[in-house]
Amino acid sequence: MITTELIMESIKYGDLSEIEQKLVETAINSRAQAYANYSKFKVGAAALDENKNIHRGCNIESADYTLTTHAEMLAIDNLILSGAKTLNAIAIALSSEHGNPTPCGLCRQKMTEFGSEKTQIICVNLNERGEIKDVFKTYLGALLPFAFSKESLNS
């Protein structure tokens, strides 16, 4: 039987490794670039590649209300544009009053394309002043178990 461990670990910023802290800081400062005129919900992301380089992303909305780039998508696109191949970790920073904010289903699918079930996901919830309120760590395999991926294709 295949089981996926459900992990959503609350962790203190100070207990993150140096590179994880850098990832979190980069997600937070990328959030400042968000263009979220319609939802007013700013998101920043930072993707870590196989060479330990970090790629930034923020959400970018559009007046048509549908053409939205999610922060994670832009960070992953920037990772691929740089010539890197693998998403080893991603940090996401946003400010939500409810629960543990996690990446949406579309972003989980995009992470699956370049990551693995071990890809680490660090979710940072900020307060209204933009300071860190909560940090959660999980894995792509926990957020999108039984994913459809390139291995699922027959070619």
Report, in Å, the least distance between residue 3 CB and Zn ion. 26
* Residue 78 and residue 69 in contact, taking contact as beta carbons nearer than 8 Å: no
Q: Distance (Å, rounded) from C-alpha 155 to C-alpha 149?
A: 12
Out of 15, 85, 104, 148, name the contact with Zn ion by CB under 5 A: 104
**Which positions from 29 to 68 touch ligand THU by CB under 6 A, shown as an x/- string?**
-------x--x-x-x---------------x-x------x
Distant-in-sequence contacts of 78-84, Cβ < 8 A, 24+ apart: 78/47, 79/47, 79/49, 79/55, 79/114, 80/114, 82/49, 82/53, 82/55, 84/49, 84/50, 84/51, 84/53, 84/55
Alpha helices in the chain (DSSP H): 18-31, 71-81, 105-114, 140-143
Report, in Å, the least distance between residue 134 CB and ligand THU. 17
Report, in Å, the least distance between residue 6 CB and Zn ion. 20
Q: What's at 147, amino acid-wise?
A: A
Catalytic residue among 72, 97, 113, 128: 72
Out of 71, 84, 90, 123, name the contact with ligand THU by CB under 6 A: 71
Where in 43-82 is the site for Zn ion (CB under 5 A)? 70
Active site residues: 72
- Residues of the shown chain interacting with ligand THU in the complex, contacts defined by CB under 6 A: 36, 39, 41, 43, 59, 61, 68, 70-72, 103-104, 107
